[in-house]
Amino acid sequence: MGFVEIVVLTVQENSVVENLESWIQKNPGCLGEEVISKFNGKLPFLLKVLSVDKALSIQIHPSKEQAVKLHQEFPDIYKDENHKPELAIALSKFEALCGFKQLDTIKKNITARKELQAVIGDSLVKEMSSCLEDDDHSRDIFKQVFRAIMTAPQPLVEEQLGLLNERINAIDESIRTEEMLVFSQVHNQFPGDSGCFCVFLFNYVCLEEGQSIYIGANEPHAYLKGDCIECMACSDNVVRAGLTPKFKDIPTLCSLLNYNFEPPEAKLLQPSVRDENCQLYLPPVEDFAVAKVKVEPNTEYSLSSFKSVSICLCVSGYGQLNASPVSPGKGFLIPALSPVSIISQAECPLELFLAFANVGGEYS
């Protein structure tokens, strides 16, 4: 929910349904003064629910400066000039690949898999094995390694992926490693795709309900399975490289990647506790933040007003929001500085997510 060219969203006020963007243009004060000032009078975020059954593409999102350049050079592919940092909050067990593993782990994975070595090439494998420190030299070598994997000839990729898949399938499933299981999952979905090798290069994260990951500019990632709330800056800029039949821009992705080696826990964004009913997910950008509100059955909760417009989505439970009926899947646009009164009227808790611009402090 938000502004994006390929989707037309509507808002209903007093039984009148209107295009959301048009309604905001007529009622700009709903955004809040700081949103109007910082984002040229436009809603700066998108809010989604993702239900992932088949892995989504390996991708990155460019920074603002890079997005401007890409849009100028390739307007048919990169259709806007904005960045697209994003936040995923698990609604169930949620699996993803996110960021590069630590250097030692990547080296061990290459050493243990002759199929990866065959795709990378002997010279680069040798150079990679000599990298001892997480420094610019190691990142330069690994950049060449990653590019070699993603641009290897398709017949070689298919051959080596097939051999690796056969070798893993010969191992009893009960003793296969986490990486092996994830590899089998993505290879079954995208056989012959060089992105399958990224399982041995990217961090695997498995979120429980309420846990979240933040994806900044040029951070490689792929969502694998599960349900999540996703909030992001208002953009459709995606640079893809694997696990997809869509257009891949591997040269651009390889040139923009950050090539940072980090442990998986570095990708988690810890929420702050506002009170017993409300948790706040506050990423290091102004475009968006998310509040998770949970109200126990047959109770009432008052949420302090936001300095920004917010979009509210109900994911479970029934009740009322400012006297309007609330049920799963129902969304609300809440103008800035508007008080929010929530009543839970079911046997199970009422659970809501509110996206808002991360400007001027959390609350008024």
Q: What token pair was written down for 21?
A: 């963007």
61 is in an annotated binding site: yes
Asked, for residue 168, whether it belongs to a domain, the answer is yes
Summarize pLDDT for 306-344 with one digit per residue, the tens: 999 999 999 999 999 998 999 999 999 999 999 899 999
Asked, for residue 156, whether it belongs to a domain, the answer is yes
Give the pLDDT of residue 26: 86
Asked, for residue 176, whether it belongs to a domain, the answer is yes
Asked, for residue 303, whether it belongs to a domain, the answer is no
Asked, for residue 51, whether it belongs to a domain, the answer is no
User: In order along the chain (364 residues), what is the average pLDDT of each group of 10 residues?
Assistant: 43 66 85 93 94 98 96 94 97 98 97 97 96 90 98 98 97 93 97 98 98 97 98 96 96 96 95 94 97 96 92 95 92 91 92 93 52
- CATH code for the domain of 193: 1.10.441.10
Asked, for residue 355, whether it belongs to a domain, the answer is no
59 is in an annotated binding site: yes
- For the annotated catalytic residues, the residue numbers are 240
71 is in an annotated binding site: no
SS3 sequence of the chain: CCCECCECCEEEECCEEEEHHHHHHHCHHHHCHHHHHHCCCCCCEEEEEEEECCCCCEEECCCHHHHHHHHHHCCCCCCCCCCCCEEEEECCCEEEEEEECCHHHHHHHHHHCHHHHHHHCHHHHHHHHCCCCCCHHHHHHHHHHHHHHHCCCHHHHHHHHHHHHHHHHCCCHHHCCHHHHHHHHHHHHCCCCHHHHHHHCEEEEEECCCCEEEECCCCCEEEEEEEEEEEEECCCCCEEEECCCCCCCHHHHHHHCCCCECCHHHHECCCEEEECCEEEECCCCCCCEEEEEEECCCCEEEECCCCCCEEEEEEECCEEECCEEECCCCEEEECCCCCEEEEECCCCCEEEEEEECCCCCCCC
Which residues constitute the domain of residue 183?
102-200
The alpha carbon torsion through 302, 43, 220, 194 (nearest 10 deg) reads 120
Give the pLDDT of residue 213: 98
Q: Say which amino acid occupies 198.
A: C
Asked, for residue 338, whether it belongs to a domain, the answer is no
Asked, for residue 227, whether it belongs to a domain, the answer is no
Tally the domains of the chain. Answer: 1
Entry pTM: 0.93
